[in-house]
């Protein structure tokens, strides 16, 4: 019995149930391991890229080769590009009906609840499996409003000029090494365009599933919400656990027009052999609103800092995020904002939980330009450590270029009190249940911002994590 309890304290022993079910890899094409000009060209030919995209990939590869990896964040030891397969095409084409999706892939997404979510509460769904989107559909009533929602490969053919105008213009390959990597080998992802004044009443969702061991996923999401339009976009991610490194280096570019609003919600539930090096960025025009809701529960290492550029007068940004770092995890996350116009405002609220030696770091970067008078920005971060072996850090940076601003930063770090656990156990709860209740209460402000299905998933993930936290 004592040995069983001891074993239970390791996060790796948690039954992640549906998330860790592996499918046999049944790819119609896999690139060779590593990253060379030949491999990048082969991917481009396989995807039938236009000439400008083939050239773009090779330029991005050259930048990747010239840029050094980051030295200021968590160690990337164990990530070796020569061992990563950058492109795995599933043995199916992109399908417009669920029945056409191959049975093994369909079963995976059924387990994850994607078709059910589509039937009950979504305006459209995209499902990516390894390197390509295997299913994409949007309701007719949404399509009739002029909303475009499709996979990036189709967009590159059907809306080439719009893609060319926006693709990697917010996140350029020269931004950092893994943005350059993305530019060279990107595949899959979603393209959304919402016409002026159109309000999409129910969310669109894309779900990214990486199944192949030792592979990378490099989806590109490009969303344009035109003047006065409104959209809620949901992103979900998961992968089964392997004993080799997997890599996720996606890219999200969001264009929010004048008076428009975009909410971007994410639950990332990568396995703990994943290096998550994602880049997300938005530009917001006059009177526009950008809302980020983010939950990060997986990966061995994360570098993730959604950025908003408040370009237009009175543009606004809100960020609400939570991370949960367990044994063997180093989650380095945060948020960045640039106030580039007068009267802009931003509010950032972050919560982090660490246990079993997990490390959670929150970085915030606020820049207020010299012309951005009467701007307001507030940063609030709270950290909860569940034991003495875990770590939590807050690293704020503020670059203020004028005096007519209202700026605030608040940070709190704490532990669950023994008195609270004792009280809950005296009411009939086990220690695990008591701790899980406290953690769920701590996370509740984030959960209430998520769509119902994702709030349920987040609470489920918390329960799974807490099952491995005895001491």
Q: Which residue has the tokens 């060319």?
A: 164
Indicate the burial class of 144 (C-beta count within 10 angstroms; 0-12, 13-18, 19 or more): exposed
In this prediction, residue 451 carries a pLDDT of 62
Indicate the burial class of 243 (C-beta count within 10 angstroms; 0-12, 13-18, 19 or more): exposed
Tell me the chain's radius of gyration from C-alpha atoms. Answer: 22
Whether the CB-CB separation of 411 and 441 falls below 8 Å is answered with no
| Residues in Cβ contact with 297 at an 8 Å cutoff, skipping those fewer than 6 apart | 267, 268, 269, 323, 324, 458, 461, 465
In this prediction, residue 210 carries a pLDDT of 84
In this prediction, residue 10 carries a pLDDT of 31
In this prediction, residue 202 carries a pLDDT of 87
DSSP codes, 16-81: -GGGGPPPPP-EEEEPPBS--HHHHHHHHHHTT--HHHHHHHHHHHHHHHHSPPPSSSS--TT--G
| Dist. CA 316–CA 16, nearest whole Å | 38
φ, ψ of residue 24 in degrees (nearest 5): -65, 130
User: 3-state SS of the chain: helix, strand, coil percent to 5?
Assistant: 30, 35, 35
Whether the CB-CB separation of 256 and 283 falls below 8 Å is answered with yes
Neighbouring-strand partners of residue 406: 376
Whether the CB-CB separation of 187 and 131 falls below 8 Å is answered with yes
Q: Which of 306, 264, 253, 267 is nearest to 289 (CA)?
A: 264
| Dist. CA 228–CA 285, nearest whole Å | 11
φ, ψ of residue 441 in degrees (nearest 5): -65, -40
In eight-state DSSP terms, residue 153 is: H
Neighbouring-strand partners of residue 365: 336, 397
φ, ψ of residue 160 in degrees (nearest 5): -60, -45
Whether the CB-CB separation of 67 and 209 falls below 8 Å is answered with no
In this prediction, residue 282 carries a pLDDT of 98
The CA-based dihedral angle spanning residues 265, 269, 270, 271, taken in that order and rounded to the nearest 10 degrees: 180
In this prediction, residue 242 carries a pLDDT of 76
In this prediction, residue 12 carries a pLDDT of 34
Helix and strand counts by DSSP (H, E) for the chain: 12, 25
| Residues in Cβ contact with 346 at an 8 Å cutoff, skipping those fewer than 6 apart | 308, 310, 316, 317, 318, 319, 337, 339, 366, 376, 377, 378
* Structure-block tokens of residue 200: 């999409």
Whether the CB-CB separation of 332 and 364 falls below 8 Å is answered with no
| Dist. CA 72–CA 70, nearest whole Å | 6
Cβ neighbours of 92 (radius 10 Å)? 18
Say how many residues make up the chain: 471
Q: What is the pLDDT along the chain (471 residues), one digit of tens a residue?
A: 333 333 333 333 334 555 555 555 566 678 899 999 999 999 999 999 999 999 999 999 999 999 999 988 999 999 999 999 998 887 766 666 767 777 767 677 776 666 676 667 677 777 787 887 877 778 888 899 999 999 999 999 999 999 999 999 999 999 999 999 999 999 999 999 999 999 999 889 888 888 888 899 999 999 999 999 999 998 888 777 777 889 999 999 999 999 999 999 988 878 888 999 999 999 999 999 999 998 887 789 999 999 999 999 999 999 999 888 888 999 999 999 999 999 999 999 998 888 889 999 999 999 999 999 999 999 999 888 888 888 999 999 999 999 999 999 988 877 777 888 888 889 888 887 888 788 777 777 777 776 655 666 666 666 666 655 433
In this prediction, residue 79 carries a pLDDT of 93
Cβ neighbours of 283 (radius 10 Å)? 22
In this prediction, residue 137 carries a pLDDT of 79
Listed in order, strand segments (DSSP E) in 273-327 are 274-277, 279-284, 289-296, 301-304, 307-310, 316-325
* Structure-block tokens of residue 30: 């896999």
């Amino acid at each position: 019995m004592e040995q069983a309890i001891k074993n239970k304290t390791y996060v790796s022993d948690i039954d992640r149930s549906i998330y860790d079910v592996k499918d046999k890899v049944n790819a119609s094409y896999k690139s060779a391991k590593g990253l060379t000009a030949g491999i990048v060209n082969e991917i481009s030919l396989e995807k039938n890229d236009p000439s400008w995209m083939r050239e773009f990939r090779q330029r991005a590869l050259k930048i990747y080769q010239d840029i050094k990896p980051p030295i200021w964040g968590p160690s990337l030891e164990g990530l070796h590009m020569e061992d990563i397969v950058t492109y795995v095409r599933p043995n199916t084409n992109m399908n417009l009906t669920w029945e056409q999706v191959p049975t093994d892939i369909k079963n995976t997404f059924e387990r994850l609840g994607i078709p059910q979510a589509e039937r009950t509460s979504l305006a459209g769904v995209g499902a990516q499996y390894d390197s390509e989107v295997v299913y994409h559909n949007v309701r007719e009533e949404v399509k009739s409003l002029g909303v475009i929602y499709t996979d990036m490969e189709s967009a590159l053919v059907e809306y080439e000029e719009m893609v060319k105008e926006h693709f990697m213009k917010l996140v350029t390959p020269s931004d950092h090494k893994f943005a350059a990597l993305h530019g060279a080998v990107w595949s899959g992802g979603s393209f959304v365009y919402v016409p002026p004044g159109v309000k999409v009443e129910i969310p669109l969702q894309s779900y990214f599933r990486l199944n192949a061991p030792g592979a990378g996923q490099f989806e590109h999401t490009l969303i344009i919400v035109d003047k006065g339009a409104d959209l809620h976009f949901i992103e979900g991610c998961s992968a089964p656990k392997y004993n080799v490194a997997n890599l996720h280096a996606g890219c999200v570019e969001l264009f929010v027009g004048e008076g428009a609003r975009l909410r971007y919600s994410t639950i990332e539930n990568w396995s703990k052999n994943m290096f998550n090096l994602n880049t997300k960025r938005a530009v917001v025009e006059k009177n526009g609103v950008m809302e980020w809701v983010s939950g990060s529960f997986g990966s061995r290492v994360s570098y993730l800092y959604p950025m908003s550029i408040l370009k237009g007068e009175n543009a606004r940004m809100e960020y609400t995020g939570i991370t949960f770092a367990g044994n063997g995890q180093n989650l380095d996350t945060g948020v960045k904002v640039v106030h580039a116009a007068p009267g802009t405002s931003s509010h950032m609220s972050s919560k982090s939980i660490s246990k079993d030696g997990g490390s959670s770091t929150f970085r915030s970067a606020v820049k207020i330009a010299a012309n951005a008078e009467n701007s307001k920005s507030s940063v609030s971060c709270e950290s909860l450590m569940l034991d003495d072996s875990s770590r939590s850090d807050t690293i704020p940076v503020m670059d203020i270029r004028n005096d007519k601003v209202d700026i605030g930063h608040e940070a709190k770090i704490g532990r669950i009190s023994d008195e609270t656990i004792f009280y809950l156990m005296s009411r009939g709860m086990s220690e695990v249940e008591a701790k899980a209740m406290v953690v769920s209460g701590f996370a509740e402000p984030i959960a209430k911002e998520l769509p119902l299905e994702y709030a349920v998933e987040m609470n489920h993930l918390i329960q799974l994590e807490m099952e491995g936290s005895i001491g």
